[in-house]
Amino acid sequence: MQSGTCTKAIFNGRKGSGCCLANFCHPLIPFIITFAAVKKKKQPIILQDITVQDYAAEGKSLAKVDGKVIFIENTVPGDVVDIQLGKNKKDWAEAWPLRFKTYSQERVDPFCRHFGVCGGCQWQMLPYEKQLLYKQKQVSDNLSRIGKIALPAMLPIVGADETRHYRNKVEYTFSSKRFIPMEEFKQLKAAGLPVIQDGGFAGFHAKGMFDKIVEIDTCHLQHEPTNQIRKAIAAFCLENNYPFYDAKTHEGWLRNMMVRIATTGEWMVNIMLGNDNRKMREALLDKVLELFPQITSLLYTINPKFNDSIYDLTPVAYHGKGYIIEQLEDFQFKISPKSFFQTNTKQAEKLYSITRDFAELDGTQNVYDLYCGTGSIGIFVSKQAKKIVGVEAIAEAIADAKENAALNNINHASFFAGDVIDVCNDGFFAAHEKPDVVITDPPRAGMHEKLVKKLIEIAAPTVVYVSCNPATQARDLALLDEKYTVEKIQPVDMFPHTHHIENVVQLKLKK
């Protein structure tokens, strides 16, 4: 074979029949192999003694070095750190701390032993007052820098009265693989002990890992007996050699658990299993009921899929009615295992109350509740509205919305399933009357541009925009600026110790 043919095969990544690559007989082979082996690895850029200056967004802080903005993970303003750059552009870079030289005086001791490993509650090292300050700043920065529109003075952020045990819904994962934090790994190696990650564990997914979990002793997000239930299920399955799920091999039985608690005192537990072994299932569920008689609805869901989502599965009620009743003010809401409901009930009541105030209803308005979910906002404002029209893409949520309206004897509310941009066309507005007030509560991606254009065309006198992502909200407000002015801005903290923030904006049609 001619030498040129073989070399071409190497550089093109092919091994044709008769190519001498397999036998390393070509004279250029040693040179190519050596060249590839000695190719220098790009050296990491490390900067020392960097003072973290401010909070940025999405849980990151920032520093400025020679005019370049550097976004740094897991730090707070006032920290002095050595950092390693990751993504590195001309005007900005991302980095993570290698070592802390001095800690900020703003820091406090985290109350959870799993802080920094679990991946949740990223701001426990900050006093709650500082968390609120930075969240308010996040909203202000996003609306001014992205929106670039005229804005009124922002109302002070509404904080939470309870900063622990505030979640009404928590989802746990059971796994045969445990994430081992670096410090524990080093200690085990230094002591000559085996590093064991196989077995049966209960907790939360490790950040960025689909197949390993952080084993949790006590989570402070939900009232007891949530931790006791999780531990009891794990212990029972270990004692009886029931296999925990392995996400990588797709083997095992015990997968996930969702716990929901209502202010009415009702408890729901839904246990997700990899297959339906009736003997094992009934033994586990009977044990759970024996140990925790306060559970009012115990369900199980068989999930043979490769992902953990249950929205295309059917939960089965083993004990109780299969749902719980939650209450906001004097409104009741039926919550089933697949229902969406704000996970902080007490803060949801504040959020919805602000939304209702911003809508300025007097009983004569036709209100559209877009991205309505289970109808909670529309129902909450219904007493002051002439009519409620709700639209939501998820059909199961609309079914819940209709049941919730009936549960509260609300006869002037209608709910429709379908994508908002498809449903809200000229014919729909003609059939249900044009809105006097539009309340929109879109997902993190914000409103579709087609919907924004339709709202501009419809020109309702008042729009109330509830957002869980001030950045996409700012983008949408810039589009709405064609016909609307922002009159009021009210941030609400739904999730203490995290960087997440809700924001309510009132818009009025320009005169």
Residues labelled catalytic: 468
Residues 6+ positions from 446 with CB-CB distance below 8 Å: 467, 469, 472, 473, 475, 476
Return the number of other C-beta atoms located less than 10 Å from residue 46's C-beta: 11
Give the integer Cα–Cα distance in Å for 337 and 333: 13
Residue 258 tokens read as 């969702």
First to last CA, the chain: 83
Name 198's bridge partners.
177
DSSP for 2-40 reads -HHHHHHHHHTT---TT-GGGGT-STTHHHHHHHHHHPP
HEC readout, 154-179: CCCCECCCCCCCCCCEEEEEEEEEEC
Number of C-beta neighbours around residue 280 at 10 A: 18
Written in H, E and C, the secondary structure of 61-95 is EEEEECCEEEEECCCCCCCEEEEEEEEECCCEEEE
Please state whether the peptide bond connecting residue 315 to the residue before it is cis, i.e. omega within 30 degrees of 0.
Answer: no
User: Tokens 């064991």 belong to which residue?
Assistant: 196
User: Are 344 and 168 contacting, i.e. CB atoms less than 8 angstroms apart?
Assistant: yes
Place of tokens 């407000």: 477
